[in-house]
Amino acid sequence: MTYEMKIDSREETNRTDDMAQGVLGTDSARPDGILKATGAATYAAEPHPEGMLHGFLRRAPRIGQVRCPNLDEVRGMAGVRLVLRDARMVRNAAQGMANEAPVQGVDEAEYAGQPIALVVADSFEQARHAAQRLKVEIDGRDAPVDPQAVTPEEPDDKQTAQGDLDAAMRDAAVTVDAVYTTPSMNSAAMEPHAALAEWDGEQLTLRGALQMLKFNRNELADSVGLDPEKVRLLAPYVGGGFGSKLGISADCVAAALAAMELGQPVRVVQHRRNVFEVNTRRSETRQHIRLAADSEGRLTGLGHETLVSNLPQESFAEPVLQASHFAYAAANRRLKMQVARINRPAAGSVRAPGEAVGVTAFEVAMDELAAAAGVDPVELRLRNIPDTDPESGKPFSSHRLREALTKGAERFGWADRPAAPRQRREGEWWIGTGMAAAFRVNMIIEAEARIRLTGEGATVETDMTDIGTGSYAILQLIAAELLGLPQDQVTVSLGDTAHPPGSGSGGSVGAASTGTAVWLAGMELRRQIAARLGCDETDLTLKDGAVVQGNTRQSLGDVLAGAALTGHGHVHPGEASEKVRQATFGAHFAEVAVSDVTGEVRMRRMQGTFAAGRILNLRTARSQCHGGMIWGIGMALTEALTHDRRDGHVVNRDLAEYHVPVNADVPKLDVQFLEELDPWAGPMQAKGIGELGICGAGGAILNAIHHACGARLRDFPATPDRVLAALDALSA
């Protein structure tokens, strides 16, 4: 039986707090942790079925029409089984939740690095060698690769104007009018994209590094021309994604086509340089931010205009302005987005699309406003918290930014900070602190889950994925809580489209969406147990494998009497998002040291305080915030994709040259969560936490750099050469 729910209104019963097991919200280990630590967790490229062949992608060296004049020669090389140049191969990975094939074709290269052939051979070495021998001739054409050099599009649905911003800027006591830039960035997940496809003549089974299987299944089926019912995807373990594995990717489609043609399993693994170009990047941004305020720092005007880029035919545009619509109150507002169509690798969702770069830059502008107004940066933000959504007038479902700011400041020791910059020095190092607010929209999408219950325990089944976020642990806790079982009696099976379709991992929707589906499945089982006892579900207490009803206590096994029960949960987003503004909130605080000699910036400590509804697992939630804050360090100090100015190809397309933070770069990180239950977020009153930690984190670091040495940087990242130039400008 199915318990189906649309989230249309407030949760009034708060049934989650009535459960007795007491595991939900605790600091709980990952059930998959030992498997990953010992190498027992099987990732996409690791199985080796009998007869498996190896595929290697050949890519276009530049933009233009493609010819491969020596196909027959390569097909005759030792071990080569197939040289595939199929119009169904994809140009780049699909966008998140596309649910259909991405742009396809191999005869025209739209960017340098686009896959244009797959060579399949008996061994990986033979496939790679043959692919390298395949000649690729390009009839080149002029193609724009610089977003500043084209006339951008201005999508009508991405523009907002209220009041008169120009008048507000003219009449304001204090203003900020500045341009901030962020570079292209890459997800740089630990596991490369990989696919292993098998075809039995009727059914295509593909094991892949994928995040959102219910969408990916349809994308792959559409790409290769099959009914989705004839496609099964498996992704029980995924080694990180951060958005780059949201949509079906080139390796998956090519492996599937090759397996269908050859009738043997085919594995395709992208090497690291493939990963950096074939899959989606985060768009670079140019952000023009204007702020107008009265003498006390209260905003009267807010302007945020941005330029982003993408390939032709791609619908995605980095939603830089997403949080600016609701973060701060201001009567006069202008938000504007422009999209440059250029021939760089495709842009797409990367962790916290929009807010990761939009909030980060905006919070630097807010720091500049605080300095200009002579108001403490925390106090400035407190004075500009809106009572309702500033544009729609909707109430917030919950809003704890004020508490995040004040409690975070207290925990960090913000009150001890000197107001003026350049006040503390240790040898060659200037020491300073900075802060930023954090904002991230909250979403729930349709999801389903099934729980099978016997006297031995429960099994949770859904095609939800775990990309390192803790899905196994969270869903286990929810089922254990609802059914009153010890955690070790709950097994979780994920990443298989033979299971009910969950939300997938992306947009911080997983725990609240698929988690709610598991909650509903558990509640349906509680109803079935109550029916066997002839009582209402609310009269049951389930704990430690026992069923208590009235003065009667029985083991769950005795109540089931050998029967196996199945509960199915199905959640829909409903009308809640139309009635209220849902978001998560937080505050970042950072301390840095800046070398006056080399321009090097060293992190000394970092604190984050976050409000995201009910926290389902303290350990995995804290881990997610740590990851976001570390990524903020990378955004602030090291990370940037460099595109060749001639043809747009990625110059630093590996982990040696694309600098992600390493252990030595990361200081002690402190995370605290505020107690919060969001009644509009479903029966668990939980919201997404996976992306909030990155939003604004880099801004806090750049603000700390300014406080340390007085140098104001507006171009991310703050590399030593940029810091030195800013220091030189101070003394000029």
Which residues carry out catalysis?
691
What is the token pair recorded at 715?
A: 């171009």
State the SS3 of 543-583: ECCEEEECCEEEEHHHHHCCCCEEEEEEEECCCHHHHCECE
Give the Cα separation of 330 and 610 in Å (integer). Answer: 24
Asked if residue 506 lies in contact with residue 211, where contact means CB atoms within 8 angstroms, the answer is: yes
Question: Reading across the β-sheet that carries 429-441, which strands appear in turn?
Answer: 425-426, 429-441, 583-595, 601-611, 668-673
Classify residue 692 by its DSSP letter: G
Asked if residue 481 lies in contact with residue 550, where contact means CB atoms within 8 angstroms, the answer is: no
- Sequence-separated (6 or more) residues with CB below 8 Å from residue 534: none
- Sequence-separated (6 or more) residues with CB below 8 Å from residue 320: 285, 287, 304, 306, 308, 337, 354, 357, 358
E runs forming strands in 170-248: 174-182, 194-199, 204-208, 231-234
**576 φ, ψ (degrees, to nearest 5):** -60, -40
Task: Of 5, 31, 191, give the one whose Cα is nearest residue 574.
Answer: 5
Give the Cα separation of 415 and 405 in Å (integer). Answer: 12
Please report, in angstroms and rounded to a whole number, the separation of the first and last CA atoms in the chain. 74
Does residue 495 sit in helix, strand or coil? Answer: coil
Dump the DSSP string for 39-86: T-S--TT----TT-EEEEEEE-SSSEEEE-TTHHHHHTSTTEEEEE--
In the numeric block, the tokens 């099978």 are attached to 452
**Residues facing 686 on adjacent strands:** 613
Does residue 356 sit in helix, strand or coil? Answer: helix
Does residue 126 sit in helix, strand or coil? Answer: helix
Q: How far is CA 489 from CA 56, 458, 711, 715, in A?
A: 43, 6, 57, 52
